[in-house]
Amino acid sequence: MNLAIDIGNTRTKIGIFNQQHLSTVMTFENSKEINLQEIITGFDIQQSVISSTIEIPEYISAALRELTKNLILDHRTKLPFTNLYSSKETLGKDRLALVAAAQANYPSQNNLVIGCGTCITFNFINAKNEFLGGSIHPGLKMRLQAMHAFTGKLPLIPLENKAELIGNDTKSNMLAGVLLAAGKEIDGMIDEYLVKFPEMNIIITGGDADLLVYRLKNEIFAIPNFTLIGLNHILEYNA
């Protein structure tokens, strides 16, 4: 069995794979220690891959060192696609994983993967299995936080799945400005890609994907846990 670990800024997501099949997903707050040894023993884990936006906690590193193979994803990791990104050292590891998942699910096709997390990222891999790059946009919560931080009176409101074109109070106005505008922004970006690449798969994933996918006019595959799928594909490629 394979273990894929994706450590974000606030949460850690763990996926258990039987080769390419994702059988179990677990999510933990970073503030709490994970009993990783229990997971490794309980699922008979043989090899693992880890991606982290923060420094990997020592207790996690110690547990993974006991495995036959432990791959830590970075810019030097061998990838199942050609990475044409110029500044490879600054490229987010989650974006590498998303592109790897697209290459695994739809090989030798044009794929646009939209990751909806802290930031909204567009990631394009062409039919030659070349990752060309994409773009980075503020995420939904980041937009709400920015309106609060850079104005004198706008409150910090929680992100909710509710937005009307014409809001009638400050909260509904802010949610409309975030959810509806982000949807239009994504649709507009997709339209630009389709001009250049009429034959293209469009995949949306990430924690906020459910808030956006049904607001989009383009035909899109909504696939959860795409980052974990990509991490496991990279692990299998390096086996």
**Using CA atoms, how far apart are residues 107 and 111, in angstroms rounded to an integer?**
9
Domain end, chosen from 23, 50, 72, is at: 72
**pLDDT tens per residue, range 180-224:** 999 999 999 999 999 999 999 999 999 999 999 999 998 899 999
Please give the single-letter amino acid code of residue 221: F
Domain of 168 in residue numbering reads as: 78-239
Q: For residue 9, give the 3-state DSSP assignment.
A: coil
Asked if the model's pLDDT at residue 227 lies above 90, the reply is yes
Same domain, 134 and 198: yes
Domain end, chosen from 50, 72, 94, is at: 72
Same domain, 68 and 93: no
pLDDT given for residue 201 in this prediction: 97
CB 71 within 8 Å of CB 78: no
Pairing of strands 11-18, 69-72: unpaired
Same domain, 144 and 213: yes
pLDDT given for residue 67 in this prediction: 86
**pLDDT tens per residue, range 21-36:** 999 999 999 888 899 9
**pLDDT tens per residue, range 54-75:** 888 898 999 998 888 999 999 9
Same domain, 191 and 232: yes
Domain end, chosen from 43, 72, 101, is at: 72
For all residues of the chain together, what is the average pLDDT? Answer: 94
Same domain, 131 and 233: yes
pLDDT given for residue 218 in this prediction: 85
Q: For residue 145, give the 3-state DSSP assignment.
A: helix
CB atoms within 10 A of CB 219: 8
Same domain, 106 and 187: yes
Same domain, 58 and 8: yes
Asked if the model's pLDDT at residue 176 lies above 90, the reply is yes
CB 202 within 8 Å of CB 219: yes
Same domain, 32 and 62: yes
**pLDDT tens per residue, range 112-143:** 999 999 999 999 999 999 999 999 999 999 99
**Using CA atoms, how far apart are residues 59 and 191, in angstroms rounded to an integer?**
46
Q: What CATH number does residue 43 fall under? A: 3.30.420.40
Same domain, 109 and 190: yes
* Structural domain total, the chain: 2
**pLDDT tens per residue, range 70-94:** 999 999 999 999 999 999 999 999 9
pLDDT given for residue 113 in this prediction: 98
Same domain, 212 and 98: yes
- Catalytic sites, residue numbers: 94
Same domain, 48 and 123: no
CB 109 within 8 Å of CB 171: no
Same domain, 59 and 101: no
CB atoms within 10 A of CB 94: 26
